[in-house]
Amino acid sequence: MPSARPFVVIAEFRVKPGSLDAFLALAHDDARASVADEPGCRAFDVAVSESDPLTVLFYEVYDDRAAFDAHLATPHLARFRAGFPALIEAERPVRFLARTS
């Protein structure tokens, strides 16, 4: 078991009207591949706001910062990065946290 606290990444996007299905397809591809193919990825949840269904949040948990850095070099993230800019209105700054439990 790693001695460092799990590394949490929160990304949030405002999706263009009419683009939610395409955005979620890209997001789910990235999330599924991250959990399946990256030993350091513990969880990758994609959530849609109940009050604003065009706001999508990613909650990602990695063993440590190095595991997240490895995620940045994956083909599935490259696919997401290539496709998502045309589908969003805004991207909030990514937040990094250390999980305490």
Q: For the chain, which residues make up each domain, given as ranges?
A: 7-90
CATH class, range 7-90? alpha beta
Count Cβ atoms within 10 A of the Cβ of residue 45 and give its class: 0-12 exposed, 13-18 middle, 19 or more buried: exposed
**Tens of pLDDT along 20-74?**
999 999 999 999 999 999 999 999 999 999 999 999 999 999 999 999 999 999 9
The pLDDT assigned to 72 comes to: 97
The three-state secondary structure class of 97 is strand
Q: What is the pLDDT of residue 74?
A: 97
